[in-house]
Amino acid sequence: MSFATSAARFCQAFRNRDYTIYCVGSSLTVIGLWMQRIAVGWVTWELTESATWLGIVAFAELFPVVILSPFAGTMADRMNRLTIARVAQCLNMLQATVLTVLTLTGALTIWWLFSLALFAGIVVSFWQPARMAMIPNLVRREDMASAVAINSVIFNAARFIGPPIAGILIVGYGAGYAFLGNAISYIPFIVALFMIRPRMDVNVKKSRAGLFAQMFEGYRYALTHPGIGPMLVLMLVTCIAMRPVFELLPGFAAEIFGRGAEGLSMMATATGIGAVIGGIYLGQRNGLEGLVQLSLVSVAAMIGALLVFSQTSNFWVALVALAVAGAAMVTHGAGSQTLIQSAVEEGMRGRVVALYGMLFRGGPAIGALLMGWVSDWAGLQWPLVVGCAAASIALFWIIGRRTTMREAMEARRGEAGCDG
């Protein structure tokens, strides 16, 4: 396949006007998001010097999705997804603004930080399923694979653009200016959300069941599906057992490598570079064939990379390991999402992607809390080793079901689409 063909296949979602506007508007927002994530982690460490508190703050931001996503996903199937998205982004800008004011005035405490992280987690719990379910309404069906890859690349490109900017601002001016940059970054995205007009799913029959009945209907559908169910189980284990390492990077930067805020931004940047490479590779693939196998291989690569990261004391080896882990994480995460979006029935989409989002955010929340607590008395490295061992067990279990998964998910390559 030529480079021009691969590039054209990767970019074909930009043929859709509304999707292009959405991507342009969201680009600055995700950079601001990564600036704020780095600043929150560093401020948490400065205020407490505790891995436990790193885990608690990450837990506060990530865990609300576990409680709220069942309702949020059902709402995404019942209500106007664009309205939910607009309200959520306005609330996100408000949270970043409050965080900026408290930091710049010296009034920020760990409890304020915890409360604002919790607020952000609640907002994202409703934003995430609405966003994921809305994307297929912004692109043609044949452009879905391109959309998932572009969204992944934008998010992960911001992972290596945002952290260096945050590092410069934190070292030169203070964390408050990183929070300010995030608050400003929401403006173009909110404007974009008022410009787009997603098409409606005119052929989808709306269920007349009650909220709780629809919620359980969606969960039963996802967990009993021969492809979606095992994919979600593997996602849950990897998110609890391995992904929390990215929330605990401030501790690794300070304690293991002695590199401070600049080292933290370099580690986040290395992860982002790998993630972008993984997203680009995924985007130039043609169709779904082989994607189940690729997703499983990516989990194995992530296990190997994080084992190296956990045992090395060489900062440069650690950066390479994080880059590999970032590429594997995106290939598995975006690949799994592509397969799930391709296999799910349209009337179940909001609820199923909400369950995916619950595992993707809630798993690291639980894992970060556990790893942070254990790390305070066992060190940061060995809890990660145990997590990699747990992920290996889950991977071997899933490998035995890969044929059934391929038949249930890859065979429907022409019937449905995927999301970013």
Task: For residue 206, name the pLDDT band (cuts at 50, 70, 90).
Answer: low
User: Which tens digits make up the pLDDT trace of 84-118?
Assistant: 999 999 999 999 999 999 999 989 999 999 999 99
* 44: Cα within 13 Å, side-chain hemisphere: 29
User: Which tens digits make up the pLDDT trace of 301-354?
Assistant: 999 999 999 999 899 999 999 999 999 998 998 888 888 877 888 778 778 887
Q: Which amino acid is it at 377?
A: W
Q: What is the DSSP letter of 255?
A: I
Domain covering 13-199+210-409, topology: Growth Hormone; Chain: A; (1.20.1250)
Of 270, 251, 189, 279, the C-alpha closest to 58 is 251
d(CA 345, CA 14) in angstroms, rounded, equals: 25
Q: Give yes or no for a contact between 180 and 49, defined as CB atoms under 8 angstroms apart.
A: no
Kindly report the pTM of this predicted structure.
Answer: 0.71
Q: Give yes or no for a contact between 360 and 62, defined as CB atoms under 8 angstroms apart.
A: no
d(CA 375, CA 154) in angstroms, rounded, equals: 32
From first CA to last CA, the distance across the chain in angstroms is: 24
Q: Which of 31-40, 178-187, 214-223, 314-323 has the lowest mean pLDDT?
A: 214-223
Task: For residue 362, name the pLDDT band (cuts at 50, 70, 90).
Answer: confident
- Find the farthest-apart pair of alpha carbons in the chain and give their distance in angstroms, rounded: 59
d(CA 35, CA 165) in angstroms, rounded, equals: 7
Output the CA angle 281-229-237, nearest 5 degrees: 70
Output the CA angle 236-239-240, nearest 5 degrees: 85
Who's near 318: CB < 8 A, 6+ residues apart? 252, 256, 257, 267, 309, 312
The predicted model gives 171-186 an average pLDDT of 92
Of 147, 95, 113, the C-alpha closest to 41 is 113
Task: For residue 2, name the pLDDT band (cuts at 50, 70, 90).
Answer: low
Q: Which residue has the higher pLDDT, 40 or 51?
A: 40
d(CA 89, CA 195) in angstroms, rounded, equals: 14
**Count of other CB atoms within 10 angstroms of residue 173:** 12
Percent residues over pLDDT 90 in the chain: 35
